[in-house]
C-alpha cells in the first residue's frame, strides 16, 4: 500500500538551476495534482491532470511545468529556480467522483525545497 510517493524529500537548489520533483501513485487514480504550501498560506494548486496526456494550469503555475505520460506518474519540473519557489510541494491523487461527491484526496509525503 504505497499510495502516493514523492521524491526527493528534501532538496536545496541554487538560483537558476533546474530539477524535477517525482510523484507516482499506485491506486489507479484518474486525477493528480501538485500543490505548494507556504507558511500561513494554506495549499495552492500549481497544476493538475485528469488523465494520461491531459494537464492544465492551476492557481500558481508560473515557473513550473508538468507532464502525464502514464496514469501513475505526474512529475513537476522547475526550469529556472527562484527564491520565490522555496516551499513545500505536495503531490496528490484521487478517483474521479460524481457531481457533488468529490472523493478524498491522498497526499504524498511532500518535498521540502529551498532555493538559495
Partner 1 sequence: GQQVMQIPQYQHVQEGEDFTTYCNSSTTLSNIQWYKQRPGGHPVFLIQLVKSGEVKKQKRLTFQFGEAKKNSSLHITATQTTDVGTYFCAGPANAGGTSYGKLTFGQGTILTVHP
Enumerate binding residues for partner 1 (CB under 8 A): 31, 33, 35, 40-45, 48, 50, 58-59, 90, 92, 94, 96-97, 99-110
Considering the complex, state which of residue 50 and residue 80 has its C-beta at the smaller distance from partner 1.
Answer: 50
Minimum distance between the CB of residue 24 and partner 1, rounded to whole angstroms?
Answer: 15
30 contacts: CB under 8 Å, gap ≥ 6? 50, 51, 71, 94, 95, 96
* Residues 75/2/12/33 CA torsion (nearest 10 deg): 40
When the beta carbons of 19 and 88 are compared against partner 1, the nearer one is 88
Amino acid at each position: 500500500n504505497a499510495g502516493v510517493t514523492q521524491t526527493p524529500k528534501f532538496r536545496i537548489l541554487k538560483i537558476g538551476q533546474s530539477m524535477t520533483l517525482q510523484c507516482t501513485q499506485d491506486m489507479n487514480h484518474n486525477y493528480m495534482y501538485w500543490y505548494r504550501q507556504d507558511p500561513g498560506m494554506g495549499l495552492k494548486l500549481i497544476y493538475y491532470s485528469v488523465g494520461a496526456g491531459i494537464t492544465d494550469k492551476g492557481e500558481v503555475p508560473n515557473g513550473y511545468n508538468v507532464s502525464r505520460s502514464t496514469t501513475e506518474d505526474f512529475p513537476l519540473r522547475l526550469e529556472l529556480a527562484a527564491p520565490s519557489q522555496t516551499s513545500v510541494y505536495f503531490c496528490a491523487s484521487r478517483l474521479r467522483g460524481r457531481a457533488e461527491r468529490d472523493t478524498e484526496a491522498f497526499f504524498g509525503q511532500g518535498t521540502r525545497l529551498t532555493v538559495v
